[in-house]
Chains A and B, each alone.
Chain A
Amino acid sequence: MTLRLDGVGKEFVPGTPVLADLDLTIAPGEFVCVVGASGSGKSTLLSVIAGLTPPTSGRVLLDGEEVTGPGPERGLVFQTASLYPWRTVARNVGFGLEALGLPRARREERVGRLLDEVGLRHLATALPGRLSGGQQQRVAIARALACSPRVLLLDEPFGALDVQTKEDMQLFVRQVWQDVPTTVVMVTHDVEEAVFLGERVLVLSCDPGRIARDLVVDLPSARSLEDKRSAGFLALRAEVEDLVRAEHRAHQGRV
């Protein structure tokens, strides 16, 4: 699947664009990370791709077909687990499959395989309130993956986790991306995370959000936490940090 943004702009208040003239093409199976200072409209960008926020101008195209609303082929995961607190883990994961009208037996089989993939089979009957933050995010990712999305949209999915859990989740999401044939677009404010996870890092500018820089991450595709100390990684990380910082300063100067 190819995801294409064609001159996308968004104004919540007329005259003050949050996003403007955004052109972007994401190839099938890419892992793209979007970074930017706060106020760069990165979450709005994801919401537009998800179809939850209609763009003021331009179009979002999925394999040439215009996106006009939310749909299961574009799965979404938010920062804080928006799980259904009254449903067990397994029934959370199965929600989208119920909506698709999958028969019960096939649903249970698929949910079981997804729980194995995210390593939560033993918590299938637990309620979300009993899970840790990292486990909740795994459930949210499994729930989005259940519908076999062509694009997985992650909106600062690990922003509320402690550092160690966050590292585990970074390795986990890379693994999932390698196991499952899906494109990933992830928004984060954590530059290190973006460089570690992405095959490509987009830096957004502020006021309005545009693509300031489109960088290819030239690191091996099998990544371990040690790679975060390699010279290539550190150089790229510094470059992205400088870009984000410059945008942040410029934004501060304008407000």
Chain B
Amino acid sequence: MTGQAAAEVAQVAMPMDDPRPGRRIRLLNSGVSARVAWVLRALSVAGPVAAWWALSAGGLVDPAFLPSPAAVWTAGTEMALSGELWSDLTASLGRIGLGFVLAVLISVPLGFTMGALPWAQALLEPMVGLLRYLPASAFIPLLIIWLGIGEASKVALLVLGVVFFNTLMTADVVRQVPRRLLEVSATLGAGRVRVASRVVFPYALPGMIDAMRVNAAAAWNFVVVAELIAATSGLGYRITRAQRFLQTDRIFAILVVIGLIGLTIDITLRLLRGRIGRWAA
């Protein structure tokens, strides 16, 4: 290094020579203690509920627009006791069960093939990638023309809304299997079918369940959307009925039920992933 260059380096270094003493640098992702985390979690639910309660109790908002938590609770128990909540719930759960299983049965093999075979990727990705951007809800009128107003069009909407996303997400997960693992498997005498079933599939399974978990939330949304139009049962249908009679308390009660069911689906898939993907933890 020349003398001049050394001098320049020294000059550049100058501002760094005087760090403020006692200044603590915190990592962006520094941890939170378990107790603080639980308090924050409780706050995350209790905060909005308290705000809701305060808003309706303060009499600032017309109860026809925003019913009180107590009124929602009463409306909910009424619906539960009359039995209509359960029949609507069964109808909605039946639809998501059928539609989501169908979507998984189509998208997982399709996505797996796309992720594993480059030619399948080239063949399918442009179309699947395009279809994904068409909003499934915009297909409702078409689906009604094609399939009528019965169950078929509702299940089809759900499948349409989920299948493309889940295909692409599955393909992504499958592509992430390390090349070294595939190479080693080949040197151990495993053919393509064995590598696909005994190496790629188990490696990708936790990620595929993650993808399903994300898309189950979308599926649950689509069930309710499908039931808002031309349905005679289901939670979405119950919402439109309540709207006709301005029963906002019932609408709120159903929304709470929808949220709780969604949460249950999410937790179930999370537990399943935790069990199957124990090795990845």
Q: Name A residues whose Cβ lies closer than 8 Å to a Cβ of B.
A: 50-52, 69-72, 74-76, 78, 80, 82, 84-86, 95-96, 98-100, 127, 129, 140, 143-144, 146-147, 153
The answer to whether B194 touches A99, judged by C-beta atoms less than 8 angstroms apart, is yes
Quick one: closest A residue to B205, CB to CB? A86
The answer to whether B199 touches A76, judged by C-beta atoms less than 8 angstroms apart, is no
B178-225 CB contacts (< 8 Å) to partner A? 178, 180-181, 183-191, 194, 198-199, 202-203
B91-105 CB contacts (< 8 Å) to partner A? none
Q: Name B residues whose Cβ lies closer than 8 Å to a Cβ of A.
A: 178, 180-181, 183-191, 194, 198-199, 202-203, 279-280
One of A71, A78, A85, A129 near B184 (C-beta < 8 A) = A78
One of B186, B198, B203, B279 near A70 (C-beta < 8 A) = B186
B188 contacts across to A, CB distance below 8 A: 72, 75, 95-96, 99, 143-144, 146-147
Nearest Cβ on chain B to A159's Cβ, whole angstroms:
14
- With contacts A82-B180, A82-B181, A127-B279 taken as known, whether A144 is within 8 angstroms of B187 at the C-beta atoms is yes
B187 contacts across to A, CB distance below 8 A: 50-52, 70-72, 74-76, 144, 153
Nearest Cβ on chain B to A13's Cβ, whole angstroms:
19
One of B180, B189, B199, B279 near A72 (C-beta < 8 A) = B189
The answer to whether B280 touches A84, judged by C-beta atoms less than 8 angstroms apart, is no
One of A71, A85, A95, A147 near B280 (C-beta < 8 A) = A85
A69 contacts across to B, CB distance below 8 A: 186
The answer to whether A100 touches B189, judged by C-beta atoms less than 8 angstroms apart, is yes
When chains A and B are docked, how far (Å) is the Cα of A127 from the Cα of B278?
10
The answer to whether A70 touches B183, judged by C-beta atoms less than 8 angstroms apart, is yes
Nearest Cβ on chain B to A70's Cβ, whole angstroms:
4
B199 contacts across to A, CB distance below 8 A: 84
Can you spell out 27 A-B residue pairs with CB atoms less than 8 angstroms apart?
Answer: A50-B183, A50-B187, A52-B183, A69-B186, A70-B183, A71-B189, A72-B189, A75-B187, A78-B180, A78-B183, A78-B184, A82-B178, A82-B181, A82-B183, A84-B181, A85-B203, A85-B279, A85-B280, A86-B280, A95-B188, A96-B190, A99-B188, A99-B190, A129-B279, A144-B188, A147-B188, A153-B187
